[in-house]
Amino acid sequence: MTPFSRIHGALAAAAFTVCTGAAAQAPMPKLVGEYNLLSSTTVPPSNWGYSKARVSIKQLDDHHLLILLACEWKREPKAVCGDYFYAQWRDDGLYLQDMNTFAMRLYFDPATRKLTIISRGADARQSVRHEVFGTTTAPLVDTALVRRMKREQSNADSKENRRVFGPYTKWDYQQNRIEFQRQDLTAP
């Protein structure tokens, strides 16, 4: 006959398996969409922010997103401004690629659908830039941002980048998790 403690342990293990299985199947929060810049600030105050920007987030497969950023600098509007990032959904959250993301953090509030990007500068003042984006359904019509968005999409699709870095499905996604605001904290 099995001792009570073994049955209790087996039940606890089964409950843990059921709970972790349910967590593993949790759907990815709905980030896919278009986001317009709402604000761009720096600490200490400077003109190292964006005068305008747009983020486009696209679903690539069940586990990967592509995040495209097209922007215009306040201090130098004609300078190149844009980037792209891949993100991977795993059991314990959504992670940015480990390549060139060490100085930034992303936060997403599912209740308000606001995306916040905080970037640490490499300048002598050690500036911190804080951008807030809100969802939009309006088409992108600004010619500079349209051109820059196309360039970032082209960079993300580049065969040369794929040859050098490998496919995004093989990249490391360990260091930089996209943080989600807990909805239960804001609920009445």
The pLDDT tens digits of the residues spanning 102-161 come to 889 999 999 999 999 999 876 777 889 999 999 999 999 999 999 999 999 999 999 998
Q: Report how far residue 146's alpha carbon sits from residue 164's, in angstroms, rounded to the nearest whole number.
A: 27
Specify the pTM. 0.81
Identify the structural domains of the chain with CATH numbers, from first to last. 28-180 (2.40.128)
Residue 126, Ramachandran bin (φ over 0: left; ψ between -120 and 50: alpha; else beta): left
Q: What is the pLDDT of residues 39-87, one digit of tens each?
A: 999 999 888 899 999 999 999 999 999 999 999 999 999 999 999 999 9
Contact 37, 136 (CB under 8 A): no
Q: What angle do CA 105, 63, 120 make, to 5 degrees?
A: 10
